[in-house]
């Protein structure tokens, strides 16, 4: 099945915009400054600003920020395929390949498999120099939480 682009299917477009609004409404994203773009069906792109507030004692970003970036990118890539329910992360594996200090980091998410109850997606982090600094794979399960009932998710708003 071909991906639906940002200029394709109006229903998909509405869902993608609603997911972007849902992401920006989450209180955690006031702590971790970031923005979400749904690129197309099964693909997401997050832009994060990493600063000293997320450093560990050795002067680089703590692993929690890697997890946050990787999980969010994979999660939203998978949730493009679930138009009625919020997905939940059930497992996530990550690999750190390079420390990140201050700057902009791009998290790219890509849906891999699953369409009904369980979804698999992967993600990678790219620093300002274009180097991969981490990658991860997650498993996400359809929850009982309706997207339409969540503050911030408004398909046509």
Instruction: Quick: pLDDT tens for 21-32.
Output: 999 999 999 888
- Higher pLDDT pick, 11 / 70: 70
Q: What angle do CA 147, 153, 156 make, to 5 degrees?
A: 110
Q: How much of the chain exceeds pLDDT 90, in percent?
A: 83
11 or 123, which is more confident: 123
First to last CA, the chain: 28
Strands, E assignment, the chain: 34-40, 43-50, 85-96, 103-113, 118-126, 132-146
Q: Does domain 10-149 have CATH number 1.10.645.10?
A: no
pLDDT-based confidence at residue 155 (cuts at 50, 70, 90): low
User: So where are the chain's domains?
Assistant: 10-149
What is the spatial distance between Cα 22 and Cα 12, in angstroms, rounded to a whole number? 15
Q: How far apart are CA 7 and CA 46, in angstroms?
A: 19
Work out the pLDDT band at 156, boundaries 50, 70, 90. Answer: low
Mean pLDDT of 39-63: 95
- Whether the model clears a pTM of 0.85, i.e. scores above it, the answer is yes
pLDDT in tens, 90-132: 999 999 999 988 999 999 999 999 999 999 999 999 999 999 9
């Amino acid at each position: 099945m071909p991906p639906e682009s940002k200029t394709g299917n109006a229903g998909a477009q509405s869902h993608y915009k609603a997911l972007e609004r849902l992401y920006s409404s989450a209180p955690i994203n006031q702590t971790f400054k970031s923005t979400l773009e749904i690129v197309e069906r099964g693909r997401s792109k997050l832009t994060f600003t990493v600063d000293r507030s997320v450093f560990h004692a050795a002067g680089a970003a703590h692993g929690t920020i890697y997890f946050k970036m990787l999980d969010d990118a994979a999660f939203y890539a998978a949730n493009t395929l679930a138009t009625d329910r919020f997905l939940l992360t059930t497992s996530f594996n990550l690999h750190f390949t390079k420390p990140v200090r201050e700057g902009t980091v791009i998290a790219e998410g890509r849906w891999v498999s699953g369409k009904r109850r369980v979804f698999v997606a992967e993600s990678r982090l790219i620093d300002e120099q274009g180097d991969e600094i981490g990658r991860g794979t997650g498993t996400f399960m359809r929850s009982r939480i309706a997207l339409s009932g969540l503050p911030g998710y408004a398909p046509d708003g």
